Structure 1
């Protein structure tokens, strides 16, 4: 079953602003869930339960609704799951575990739209206009302003720093390939189920290989964090992201992610009493200008 994007003229003018808002809400919320759950468990165990529960909840819907799942399509989606879930999330987790500062990892993750913009032309033939490249540069500047206070360089090995960039590039490549291979389209809930279960299997293997138990901590904060990551960080963020890729250009969709760092800090202020500084508001204003230029 191939999903055909509706012509731009047939879409409601508010469709993209609504989807962009939901994407920013879901994508930025992932850091909040990690902050809750990571106090009770290691990153790999956290990612295992996040992906396992996401996949198991989606499985009945994936089997009951949508076209029959054929092995060729399932195997292809498993490949995307390895890239977009296991290598992307797991690469950042390993980098943090090896001593790369969290602020630097978050900055690399938030530069994802820049990589997608660069890959869109050679892979998809989506050429950015000079205005969009200007908007990209302005948005990157805004992200750097917001991240300035949290940036630091730790004593991690050189390869760990390269891993952060590699993880981001892998997800960028998965995004443009997923958009480009229209013949392998399937409903988002089915694709996300396969991606999640693929990631869960690989994260479980990694945990067992290092001698860790897969038993979840039976604590309130871990439960809140996992529920947050499943409902907002996975179901909302990934489903809106994949749906948006089918309707709009990859560069336009990914540009919304530039707004995640300042929105994440608003989450931190609201839930954890973290201060909001003038630098954050300045970065937010610059980033919004860049996203507006890129999305026009």
Structure 2
């Protein structure tokens, strides 16, 4: 019987589509929870709960813990970039007035940065077809969020925070691919959440006083972001990074803003016009083109 390659299995099993769906709900969860807590307090709680859950899973399954200081350091740096800087930037940006859709669009520029840097840093070849797909994806995202962009990007500091988030997820994707390829997702996740929490918690205490309004809406948002995003979606992201080229994986982020808009439609009454629907189709075509390797 012919065996299916791991990378092909990830595609045929629909893991990329599931990843996009789960990742998109992060903006929804932020919108639900941030009215009841400061952004850094919210994230500190999220990191702490995720750390405890992953540590219990690691102990129960006897997962191997990293022993080399260099490996621990690499895991911590990746965690600071993917969790601390990326999530911190998004949450702070939204809390300062940047709309979730605009925030998603800014972070949606990640595939272009990743593709531009992957060749130089990882030795990956980005074909002309992939570049064209990335350009189509960016155009599609702009169409989907054209109405939101017309309303302005929100607070200037919030926009800068979203740019910092863009840099964090781009650098984190490349760093994870380069230095954390052999990381156990259970114990490595503990190290990463610990690093992000140690960096975020003191800032939350000094700047926000750890104030939380423990409503049912906040608890639901917190648990959703911990279980579905911090553990589920991040695990899928690392599996995709491990099995595929960084530029290919990054192209999936173009689908996040349109998917977020679809989810927000029934939840918050945000409507989708003809331009938005056309943009979704254009984005899907761009991602399909950018995700294909040369010669396939």
CA RMSD of aligned residues (A): 2.3
Partner residue, 1:132: 130
Q: Is the 8 A contact 1:123 1:177 kept in 2?
A: no
Give 1:231-246 correspondences, 5 Å limit: 231-246=227-242
Runs of 4+ in 1 over 6 A off after TM superposition: none
Q: Is the 8 A contact 2:74 2:179 kept in 1?
A: no
CA pair 134-232 structure 1, distance change in 2 beyond 3 A: same
Residue in structure 2 matching 1:33, options 8, 29, 36: 29
CA pair 75-63 structure 1, distance change in 2 beyond 3 A: farther
User: How far has the Cα of 1:276 moved from its partner?
Assistant: 2.6
User: How far has the Cα of 1:120 moved from its partner?
Assistant: 0.6
User: How far has the Cα of 1:234 moved from its partner?
Assistant: 1.4
Partner residue, 1:222: 218
CA pair 244-110 structure 1, distance change in 2 beyond 3 A: same
Partner residue, 1:261: 257
User: How far has the Cα of 1:174 moved from its partner?
Assistant: 1.9
* 1:201-255 deviations in Å (ceiling 9; x for gaps): 22211111125125x4321100111111112221221100001111011111111
Partner residue, 1:60: 56
**SS, match of residue 269 in structure 1:** helix
Give 1:1-296 correspondences, 5 Å limit: 10-11=5-6, 13=8, 15-17=10-12, 18-64=14-60, 65-70=62-67, 72=69, 73-100=71-98, 102-151=100-149, 152-153=151-152, 156-157=155-156, 161-181=159-179, 185-213=182-210, 216-296=212-292
For residues 102 and 30 of structure 1, the distance between their equivalents in structure 2, rounded to whole angstroms, comes to 10
CA pair 160-24 structure 1, distance change in 2 beyond 3 A: closer
Superposition TM-score, scaled by structure 1 size? 0.88
User: How far has the Cα of 1:34 moved from its partner?
Assistant: 1.1
For residues 208 and 261 of structure 2, the distance between their equivalents in structure 1, rounded to whole angstroms, comes to 35
Runs (5+) with no aligned partner, structure 2: none
Q: Is the 8 A contact 2:98 2:153 kept in 1?
A: yes
**SS, match of residue 139 in structure 1:** helix
Deviates more, 1:229-238 or 1:131-140: 229-238
Q: Aligned pairs, how many? A: 286
User: How far has the Cα of 1:51 moved from its partner?
Assistant: 1.4
CA pair 211-98 structure 1, distance change in 2 beyond 3 A: closer
Superposition TM-score, scaled by structure 2 size? 0.88
Runs (5+) with no aligned partner, structure 1: 1-7
